[in-house]
Chains A and B, each alone.
Chain A
Amino acid sequence: MPPTQRQSVLPTAERLLRRQPPVLAGSETLALDRRNIFILPTATGLGFVLLLLLLLLGAINYNNNLVFALTFLLAGVGVMAMLQTWRNLAGVRLELATAAPVQCGRPARFTLTARADGMRTGLALDSDGTAPVWFDIPAEAPARVHLDLPTRRRGWLRPGRIRLFTRYPLGLFHCWTHVSLSARTWVWPAPADTGGAPPQAGRRPSEDGTQGRGQDDFRGFRTYHPGDSLRLVDWKAYAREQGLQIKEFGGDRSVDYWLDFNALAEHDTEARLRRLVRWVLELDRDQQRYGLRLPGMEITLGRGPDQRERCLQALALFGVSD
């Protein structure tokens, strides 16, 4: 058995202040036990004590043994409620899952897995200023808890200290533990309300002023010259007795978008970033190729989810230190 001092159910304020909350990193599991669970009576609990005192006074004054019995029974229920509330948190193991990056203004969802050796009821997770998320842990399976944190600015979002608490079963005691999540996610700026068209200035014509040749975009027909690939012959036209026609395709001179921080008219950095985000999202939606130039950084042309994420992360963390 550890020293009794550490078993004390009600920690002193001093110990509370001194103690750093346990850190729950990436794939780590945090098991809750007496070292990190705190418990204090709630306002309801104090009201209950008042009720008990009133009953006790009545019992003594009227020398009434059944009132004594009622008082002591309720006192016992209070003690049992304390143990039960404590028990509700003890043995709970928290595991942190990742959180997806999120747009500023939308909630960032951190997902935690809570396990226990049995059923747990009336647990709640919250962080500073968020509404508690209530959940139960069923007897058979772990519970997934989604903690939605508000995002107020772009950059890294660290949930920091979150609180797991319970008041079940009677609300007499508030039992809680603080967990510092080492996980973080990044928040990209909210897109600007109006963006205008993505900058056509980013379009890059070929040297000879044409689109060049290639195999991507259909450009038109020309007559067959010996040596042309038979695969390019328009056989339908030949069938209509229009002679051998060759299908011509345009090459890699299609529209590319270069999103350049320095080329924007706004003076405010955040406003520029927000406009860039808007373009990235629009271009990604239209499946266009685009690149991003930020001071001191360039993201080459690309498309698809990876490109989107690279760009958004760059925009999110622009000028932000770790």
Chain B
Amino acid sequence: MAARRPADWQPPRGLLLALAASLILAGLPQLLRQPGVLTLLWLILLGWRLALAWQGRPSPSTWLRLLLTAAGVGLILIEYGAFFGREPGSALLVFLSIMKFVELRRPRDAQLLIFLGYFMLGVAFLFSQSLWLGAWLVLAVWALTSVWVALSDPRQPLPARRHARLAGRLLLGAVPLLLLLFLLFPRIPGPLWSLPGDAHSGVTGLSDAMEPGRISELAGSEAVAFRVQFDGPPPPPAQRYWRGPVLALTDGRRWETQPVRAGQRLPSNVQAGRLLEPRGEPVRQTLTLEPHNQVHLLALDRPGSVPEGAWLTPDLQLISETRVRLRQRYEVVSYPQVRVAASAPGRRDITRGYPADLDPRVLALARGWRAAADSPQAIIDQALRHFNQEHFIYTLTPPRLGANPVGEFLFETRRGFCEHYAAAFTLLMRAAGLPARVVTGYLGGEYNAAGDYLVVRQSDAHAWAEVWLPEGGWVRVDPTTAIAPERIESRIEVGASRDSGAVRFWTDGTRGWQRTLQEMRQSWDALNHRWNQWVLDYGPERQRDFLSGLGLPDVSWRGLGLTLLLLLIPVLALLAWWMLRPRETARDPAVRLYRAFCRRLARHGIRPEPGETPRQLLARIRRTRPALAPAAGRVIQRYQVLRYRRQPPRDALEALRRAVRAFR
């Protein structure tokens, strides 16, 4: 390579093609994600450079490239409106790599492109870490490394099968190191510096506030909210209420969580136990929560224990110490049939209050029920009957509501989804003098038989109410069930309901293909779950678990480094042995035997010359070392029989082996 003057370097066409292909492969996620016009332009630039090479023309001049670069960067600025942040940064990286490809006039440029390709892979994982992307990583790294090997082959810089094979061997050998480093490299929680603003954008989940009537369409998403594994059997569908934010503060339109003073935290199981009167079987569960960039954690209603790094509000809402920006795994014990014995003083008043400007019709309706009822339970029943007998409709595309949403909903539109019903019901209860609050969370969950866990999706989001009864404590009331009782035991099929506006309920597919499809989907989800558990969620905590499983509890940062080093040495030694061991490369057993013979000959100081035929070698042995000639002659004669006779006798190979063994 030193022999070539850099300016004269014309990249071979095959190399250009391979580079372009691996570059596209490495940039694929970005090319698919970014606006189509950018992708189209990038591909045109790539093709243009290839066309130039095919016509034997050099790369475009510097000023033209500068102009194109400026144009491309401008286009990115127009499309994204900024340079900083994940999205435009990634787009810029891919674009500049393509411009480097357009330039490509030195071997070093090609080398740099390979490095840029690896970097693109890393950047792609900031957007998604799905199983697909993991498989794609392996493929892309292999492609890039193959081109790299070819690039370093000074005689044949064209990618060939042997380059790919060698790259594969390098990657295979790298796997033990990958595993070791992955498991033992000290993991530091939290970012080293502040991340760009859009680092956590695009994550979905329940919010800490709710405002029925503001949105006219429920953005249902099939994205997974969390997965739950149970120690025992999963609870029956009717009990699958997953408790999230508890909303007690309202101005009649917007519902918010009530702030908790530091002294009101219930940080331990003991205090949670004092608040709760456990009844029935506790349900021990392990939740794997997808990041939602909020502080609330979810648990089966009602949580009775507190995972590490979290605390419990007096409303029995699990709160994480930090925002959930990584997939989080925690254990909770829940008591579905618990009686909530008490509420923190001062907090129950909030749950009685209703805004002063509450629609008089609402107030009148509630007071009428209260006057007629002889017990709080009767008021609740009356309200549910009202929802059931009046013409209330459950829809995912309700009309927008104005300044007085509850009144409008109850007396005019009568169309809404769970949030509308929960909010209206809670206000009705408060107007009737009963403490009540809204609880948001999820309802349902699909049992995945392949992985023995429940999947709860964003489309399972739900809102219900809790009412305080003097004898029963906080009691869950789900007004939505008064309208559509099937809602409890079925899931809404969001995709279908979007178009028609009516809700179609998902019942287990009875037709064969539907069932197969569902099973396939479940297996895929189970695979994803395992991927999440074993690959993506391996963080400081799981590392600690893993090490204590190895009998190394509470390893310090330094101890971890030391362990890693101590384990690295034998692994490296093994790898070195594997790489450096003498290898027999010939496939043909006859050639292998002949080579063994040559090695034995070498002990006598005789080495075959380059180009020396076995017969010439034998002649030389006869001349120089006649004592060896008879035994060597037998070997060579049999070898030649195997090589040159059209149909060598069946035992020829065995005869050769014996002859070689006999040669000393």
Q: Which residues of B contact A170 (CB under 8 A)?
A: 145, 148-149, 152, 170
Mark interface residues in B95-133 (1 if CB within 8 Å of A CB, else 0): 000000000000000010001001101110110010001
B480: min CB distance to chain A, Å: 38
| Chain B residue with Cβ nearest A86 | B580
A147 nearest CB across to chain B (Å)? 14
Instruction: Enumerate B375-422 residues with CB–CB distance to A below 8 Å.
Output: none
Whether B161 is near chain A, meaning CB under 8 Å from some CB there, is no
Question: Is B614 positioned at the interface, with any CB of A under 8 Å from its CB?
Answer: no
Please, how many angstroms separate the alpha-carbon atoms of A122 and B607 in the complex? Answer: 24
Enumerate chain A residues within 8 angstroms of B572, measured Cβ to Cβ: 79
**B645 on the A face (CB < 8 A):** no
CB atoms of B199 and A117 under 8 A apart: no
Do B122 and A87 have beta carbons less than 8 Å apart?
Answer: no
* Cα distance A87–B579 in the bound complex, in angstroms: 7
> At the interface, yes or no: B38 with Cβ under 8 Å from chain A?
no
In this assembly, does B2 line the interface, its C-beta being within 8 Å of a C-beta of chain A? Answer: yes
Residues of A contacting B155 with CB < 8 Å?
A: 121-122, 134-136
Total A residues in contact with B, Cβ cutoff 8 Å: 60
Contact (Cβ within 8 A) B182 A48: no
Task: Report whether B145 and A122 are in contact in the complex, using a CB–CB cutoff of 8 Å.
Answer: no
Contact, CB under 8 Å: B154 / A131? no
A91 to B152, CA, bound (A): 21
- Assess A62 versus B154: contact at CB under 8 Å? Given A83-B580, A169-B149: no
Chain A residues near B356: list those with CB within 8 A: none
Q: Which of A33-85 contact B (CB under 8 A)?
A: 44, 47-48, 51, 54-55, 57-77, 79-81, 83-84
Contact B586 A70 (CB under 8 A): no
A184 at the interface (CB under 8 A from B): no
Indicate if B307 sits at the interface (CB-CB under 8 A). Answer: no
Stretch at the interface among A138-146, A213-221, A250-258, A290-298: A138-146
How far, in whole Å, are A134 and B157 apart by their CA atoms in the complex?
13
Query: Who on chain A is nearest to B599 by CB?
Result: A117
Selected contact of B129 from candidates A54, A58, A64, A76, CB within 8 Å = A64
**Chain A nearest Cβ from B170, distance in angstroms:** 4
Judge if A199 is at the interface, Cβ distance under 8 Å.
no
Contacts between the two chains (Cβ within 8 Å), count: 177
Whether B154 pairs with A124 at a CB distance below 8 angstroms is yes
B610 touches A141 (CB 8 A): yes
| Chain A CB within 8 A of B662 CB | no
Contact A90 B580 (CB under 8 A): yes
Which among A64, A75, A168, A169 has the highest number of chain B CB atoms within 10 Å?
A: A169
Bound Cα distance A139, B592 (Å): 11
A232 interface residue (CB < 8 Å to B): no
Expressed in whole angstroms, the Cα–Cα distance for A157 and B224 within the complex equals 77
CA distance A70 to B190 in the complex (A): 20
Chain B residues lying within 8 Å of A44, measured Cβ to Cβ, are 111
CA–CA, A198 to B125, complex, Å? Answer: 82
Most chain A beta-carbon neighbours within 10 Å: one of B154, B325, B591, B610: B154
Is A167 among interface residues, defined by CB-CB distance under 8 A? yes
Q: Taking the complex as formed, is B502 at the interface, i.e. its CB lies under 8 A from any CB of chain A? A: no
The interface residues of chain A lying within 8 Å CB-to-CB of B178 are 69, 72-73, 75-76
Bound CA–CA A278/B3 (angstroms): 34
Establish whether residues A81 and B118, one from each chain, have CB atoms under 8 Å apart when the complex forms: no
Closest residue on chain B to residue A113 by CB atoms: B610
Report if A117-B582 is in contact (Cβ < 8 Å); known contacts: A55-B122, A67-B126, A72-B181: yes
Which chain A residues border B119 with CB–CB below 8 Å?
51, 54-55
Task: Verify if A304 is at the interface (C-beta below 8 Å from B).
Answer: no
Determine whether A100 belongs to the interface, using a CB cutoff of 8 Å to chain B. no
Q: Is A132 an interface position by the 8 A CB rule? A: yes
11 more contacts with CB within 8 A, not counting A124-B154, A139-B586, are A60-B188, A65-B538, A66-B133, A67-B125, A70-B121, A77-B145, A77-B171, A84-B170, A121-B155, A135-B155, A171-B111
Residues of A within 8 A of B (CB): 44, 47-48, 51, 54-55, 57-77, 79-81, 83-84, 86-87, 90-91, 113, 115, 117-119, 121-122, 124, 131-132, 134-136, 139-144, 167-171
Residues of B within 8 A of A (CB): 2-3, 111, 115, 118-119, 121-123, 125-126, 129, 133-134, 137, 141, 145, 148-149, 151-155, 166-167, 169-171, 173-178, 181-182, 185, 188-193, 195, 199, 325-326, 535-539, 572, 575-576, 579-580, 582-586, 591, 607, 610-611
A-B CB contact pairs (8 Å), 29 listed: A55-B118, A57-B192, A59-B122, A61-B192, A61-B193, A62-B126, A62-B195, A64-B126, A65-B538, A70-B122, A70-B141, A72-B177, A80-B170, A80-B174, A83-B579, A86-B579, A117-B582, A117-B583, A118-B583, A118-B585, A122-B154, A122-B155, A131-B2, A140-B591, A142-B610, A169-B149, A170-B149, A171-B111, A171-B151
Q: Nearest 10 CB-CB pairs, A to B?
A: A76-B174, A76-B177, A72-B181, A83-B579, A66-B125, A171-B152, A139-B585, A118-B585, A80-B173, A80-B170
